[in-house]
Amino acid sequence: RREPWQEKQRRLRARLRRILPIDVHQPHPLGSPLCPPADALLSAFCLEAVSPDHAAFTRALAHVGTLLRPGGHLLLLGALGESFYLAGAARLPVVPLSEDDVRAALADASFALRDFRSYSMPPALRTGVDDVDGVFFVHAQK
C-alpha cells in the first residue's frame, strides 16, 4: 500500500501487548512455562544464528517446542549452508544446516513434519553479507 514506515510502526506498536525476553537455550525459554501454551509460533532465521552447533540447534528447537500446546503449529524459516553473516563490521557465526539436519532436529524435538520446502539462493541475491546456500520453510506440529 506504499504507506510510510512510520505509520506501519505506529500501528504495530498500538497492537503489541508486551515484549518478552527469550533464551532458546534454556528448557523454559521464557523463564517459566507459557500458560496457556501457544497455538502457533514463528521463528525466522534465529535458531541457527544463536546455536553454536547442530546439537544446540536441536535442543533450542525442542525448548521452543515447549511453548506450544499439543497439536500446536511451528513455522520455521532458516538458512541452509550458512556459516556466517555480517552485521556491520561484525562477522557473526551461524551453524551451517542441511535439509537433513533440519529434518533430524524436528524429529528429535518431537515435531511432526507437515511441509518442508527449500530453495537455492540464486546468484543475483548473493550480496556478500553471508555465505548462505539456500533457505528452508517448514510447517511442523507438536
- Taking CA atoms, 35 is separated from 2, 22, 64, 78, 141, in Å, by 38, 15, 14, 27, 18
More confident residue, 20 or 105: 105
CA atoms of 61 and 25, how far apart (whole Å) = 9
Say if residue 123's pLDDT is above 90. Answer: no
For the entire predicted model, the pTM comes to 0.86
More confident residue, 2 or 78: 78
pLDDT score of 68:
96
Say if residue 69's pLDDT is above 90. Answer: yes
pLDDT score of 34:
83
Q: Is 128 helix (H, G, I), strand (E, B) or coil?
A: coil
Looking at every residue in the chain, the average pLDDT score rounds to 93
pLDDT 10s digits, 3-60? 899 999 999 889 888 888 899 999 999 998 888 899 999 999 999 999 999 999 999 9
Q: Which residues contact 71 (CB under 8 A, 6 or more apart)?
A: 141, 142
pLDDT score of 1:
66
pLDDT score of 127:
84
